[in-house]
Amino acid sequence: MTTKSAADRTTVLVCITCRTPTDPDDTPRKGLALADATRIALGDEIDVDVKHVRCLGNCNRGLSAAIRRDNAWTYVFGHLDATRDGPTLIAGARLFASSTDGLMPWRGRPDPLKKGLIARVPPIDFDGEPAELT
């Protein structure tokens, strides 16, 4: 496997403070469980970075994560499940890493990343779109 520099790799940012509204305050956060499941799904591979983040500000939409790459769009997802979506996030990150246009392909994207898409944010050097749609 060809390894990329840390700056070139795709990163999954998992909100570790997420919980569902019905979770008691004294139970472990399901966001941390999702982060752990994502790291486990990555295994010994080093092609994706998995990082913890405290709050993505997406609290009303359940467990949340973002997938980003330098010089590409960033994707924010919600309604994730701690027991199901660790492998989902790694699959999405790998799909995104294979993209040549800086966008995560719709085809091949795991269903939770289709249904749970909250936003996509353009790269920092994005110049904008034409004012008129064609």
Hey, what domains does the chain have and what are their CATH numbers? 10-121 (3.40.30.10)
pLDDT of residue 1: 43
Residue 117 has pLDDT above 90, yes or no: yes
pLDDT of residue 79: 95
Q: Terminal CA-to-CA distance of the chain, rounded, Å?
A: 41
- pLDDT tens-place string over residues 54-87: 999 998 888 999 999 999 999 999 999 999 999 9
Average pLDDT rounded to a whole number, residues 84-103 = 96
Written as one string, the DSSP assignment of 55-73 is --S-GGGSEEEEEE-TTS-
Asked if 40 contacts 33 with a C-beta cutoff of 8 angstroms, the reply is no
The pTM of the full predicted model, rounded to 2 decimals, is 0.88
Asked if 73 contacts 109 with a C-beta cutoff of 8 angstroms, the reply is no
